[in-house]
Amino acid sequence: MLWVKKHLGSSAYKRLILTHHKNLNSGHFLIDDRSKNGADRFEGEHLIFGSDRFPDWHAVLAYLCGKESF
């Protein structure tokens, strides 16, 4: 949590949700490296971090910055 506050700022820190049940989150995107624990029931788009499509943060940011809703 301290890393998030230091590197992403107070607004990201205040919106940080730590839960094992990913489907309880709501939003447009879920960035996670696994498809378990509710990720398959997340209502938004699941970006699988570390996959061929999203191997790193540069790929994730490039994709998100190209979205109109972002």
Q: Give me the count of residues in the chain.
A: 70
Is 48 contained in some domain?
A: yes
**Averaged pLDDT for residues 41-62:** 95
pLDDT at 69 over 70: no
Reduced to 3 states (helix: H, G, I; strand: E, B; else coil), residue 38 is: coil
Residue 46: domain span: 17-65
Distance between CA 57 and CA 25 in Å, rounded?
Answer: 21
φ/ψ of 46, rounded to 5, equals -95, 115
pLDDT at 51 over 70: yes
pLDDT digits (tens, 9 = 90+) for 20-49: 899 888 889 999 998 889 999 999 999 999
Q: Indicate the number of domains in the chain.
A: 1
